Amino acid sequence: MARIAFFGAGYAGLVSGACLAELGHTVVIRDVVPERIEQLDTGRVPFHEPRLEELIASNRERLSFTLSMDEAVAGSEFLFVCVGTPPTPSGDANLAAVWSVIEDLPADIGSPVLVMKSTVPVGTGEKVRAALDARGLVRVGYASCPEFLAEGTAVRDFMEADRVVVGSFAESDGDAVAALHEGLGAQIVRTDVPSAEMVKLAANAYLATRISFINEIANVCELVGADVEDVALGMGLDRRIGTHYLRAGLGYGGSCFPKDISFLKLLAGNSGYHFQLVTAVMEVNDLQMRRPVAKLQKHLGALRGKRIALLGLAFKANTDDMREAPSIVLAARLLAEGAEVVAWDPVADGSSALHGVTFVDSAADALAAADAAVVVTEWPELRELPWAELRETMRSPVVIDGRNHLDAAAMRTAGYVYEGMGRSASPFATLPETPEPAPTVSRD
C-alpha cells in the first residue's frame, strides 16, 4: 500500500482521499485554510455529502489532515492536486492554486508522482511538466487522473467508478497511478495527458448538452400539448440513448458543468474553432432558469407585491452547494419583478448568495401566505409534505414544479394549480427513477 498526499480538502480531495484510505492506503490531506483543517481534525466535514463523514471516521488510522506542506510530502509516493480552479472573469481557468502547489514543493522531495485531479484546461499538464523540470524536479513523475464525482453521490461514484482515466508522459507513472485504483475493479483507460484532460471536459459538455436538449424538447412540448416525461421515456428506452440526464427542469448548475463548458468553449476558441453547439447549450441553460417567472406571471399576472416561495436552494438534492444554482437567477428575477421571495432548503445556506430573500426553517413556513410556490430543488422531503393541508395556508394554491418532482395528478386532486416543465396531463408512463451516474465533475 502507498502513502498519498492530497492538496485541497474540497469535494475532490476529501472524497478521493477518504476512498483511497478505505482501499488501504495511508493518506494525508493538506489544505491552506486553518478552520477547515480544525473541522476535519474534530471529525466534521465542511460541506454536506452523504456517507463522507462516516467514511472519514472509519479510516482515521490511515487518514490525517495538515496545514504543513513538509508534513504532507514527507515519504509520500503520490501527490494528488485537488485544488480549486474557478473561472476568471474572462471564463478561463484560474490556476493560481495549482501553481502555488507546484512552487511550494520542497526541492528535496525525491521521486513521487504528481497526479493532477483538479479540472484544468488541456495543455496544463505540459506546462506543469515544464515547470517541474525548470525547478530541477525532473525525478517527479506526472499523471492526469480526472475525477468524475457527482455531488450527493460522490462516495459511491468513486467506489463504484465506471472508469478510471489515467494519462501520463511516462508509462511507468501511469502504471503506478493505475495500480492505486486496482481495488475498485473499474476499467482503467490509459492515454496521454492531453487526452485525459479532454475526457473530463468532453464528458461534462456532453451531459450538459443532454440536459439542455431535453429542456428544449420540454419547451416545445408545452406548445404542442405533449408530455416531456413520456417523450423522454420513449427516447430513453432506446439503448443507443438511455434515460440518464433526460429530465426536464431548470437546467444545470453546480461547480462543474458551467465551469467545464466554459473551459471547453474557450479552449476551442483560442485554438481557432467556434464551438457552436456548446454555445447553444449555455444559452439554453441560461434561459431555462428564468422560465418559472413567465409561468408565474401567466397565473398571477404582475408579480409586484406577490409572495413567492422557493422550495429548495441548492443546485441539486443531497448537497448544500449553491454555486451556479438556478435559485440564484430565479430569486434575482423575482425580486426584479417586485415580488417578495421566501425560501427554504434543508441543508443549503443561501444567505451569502441570495440578497433580499427571507429564509425560513421549513417548507410549511415558506408556503404560509404564499401566492405561489416554485419547486427549485428535488428534495425528497417535498414529496412527503401534507399538500392538501398546506393548500389552506396559501393565499393562492399555485405550484410551479421546476423539477417535475411532484405527482401532477395528486397535486391537482389536492386543489392546486400545478404546472411542471414540459408536462401535459398525460396519465401514461413516467421516466423511471434511476440514479444518475457520476458525470462530472470536478468538485474542487
Q: How many residues does the chain have?
A: 444
CA dist 315 → 89, 376, 391 (Å): 21, 8, 26
Of 383, 380, 292, which is closest to residue 331 (Cα–Cα)?
Answer: 292
Query: For 140-149, how does the pLDDT look when each residue is reduced to its tens digit (9 = 90+)?
Result: 999 999 999 9
Distance CA 21, CA 24 (A): 5
432 pLDDT above the threshold of 90: no
Q: For residue 82, indicate whether it is catalytic.
A: no
What's the grid cell of residue 159? 467506489
Pairing between β-strand 417-419 and β-strand 398-401 as defined by DSSP bridges: parallel
**pLDDT score for 227:** 95
> Residues of 368-386 as b/e, b for ≥16 C-beta within 10 angstroms?
bebbbbbbbbbbeebeeee
Tens digits of residue pLDDT in 66-109: 999 999 999 999 999 999 999 888 888 999 999 999 999 999 99
Catalytic residue among 19, 145, 221, 256: 256
Predicted confidence (pLDDT) per residue in 297-314, tens digit: 999 999 999 999 999 999
Helix-, strand-, coil-residue percentages of the chain, each rounded to 5: 40, 15, 45
**What confidence score (pLDDT) does residue 92 get?**
84
- CB 184, CB 164: distance < 8 Å: yes
* Rounded Cα gap, residues 443 and 348, in angstroms: 16
Tens-digit pLDDT profile for residues 369-419: 999 999 999 999 999 999 999 999 999 999 999 999 999 999 999 999 999
Please provide residue 258's backbone torsions phi and psi, each rounded to the nearest 5 degrees. Answer: -60, -45
Going by C-alpha positions, the residue among 70, 95, 71 that lies closest to residue 83 is 95
Query: Angle at CA 20, nearest 5°, toward 16 and 25?
Result: 145
Q: Which domains does the chain have, with CATH numbers?
A: 3-200 (3.40.50.720), 226-419 (3.40.50.720)
- Distance spanning both ends of the chain, measured CA to CA: 25
Q: Are strands 113-116 and 141-144 parallel, antiparallel or unpaired?
A: parallel
Chain centroid offset of residue 155 CA: 13
Supply the pTM of this predicted model. 0.90
In whole angstroms, what is the distance from residue 215 CA to residue 220 CA?
9
The pLDDT tens digits for 155-202 are 999 999 999 999 999 999 999 999 999 989 999 999 999 999 999 999
What pLDDT shows up at residue 88? Answer: 86
Q: What is the pLDDT of residue 426?
A: 55
The reported pLDDT for the residue numbered 91 is 80
The pLDDT assigned to 255 comes to 87
Radius of gyration of the chain (CA): 23
Quote the pLDDT of residue 201.
95
pLDDT at 440: 37
* Closest to 377 measured CA to CA, from 322, 424, 431: 322
Residue 323 has pLDDT above 90, yes or no: yes
Q: Which run of H or E residues covers position 307?
A: strand 307-311
For residue 424, what is its C-alpha cell? 401535459
